[in-house]
Amino acid sequence: MHTAPSEPRVFGRPANIVVADDDAGMRALVGDALRKDGHSIVEVPDGSKLLLTLEHDLLWKSAVIDLVVADIRMPAYSGIEILERLRAKQVAIPVFLMTAFGDADTRRHALMLGALLFDKPFPMAALRSAVLGLLQAED
**Tens digit of pLDDT at every position of the chain (139 positions):** 333 333 444 445 789 999 999 999 999 999 999 999 999 999 999 999 999 999 888 777 666 899 999 999 999 999 999 999 999 999 889 999 999 887 899 889 999 999 999 999 999 999 999 999 988 887 6
- Provide the 10 A C-beta neighbour count for residue 87: 16
Domains of the chain as residue ranges with CATH = 37-102+112-120 (3.40.50.2300)
Quote the pTM value.
0.88
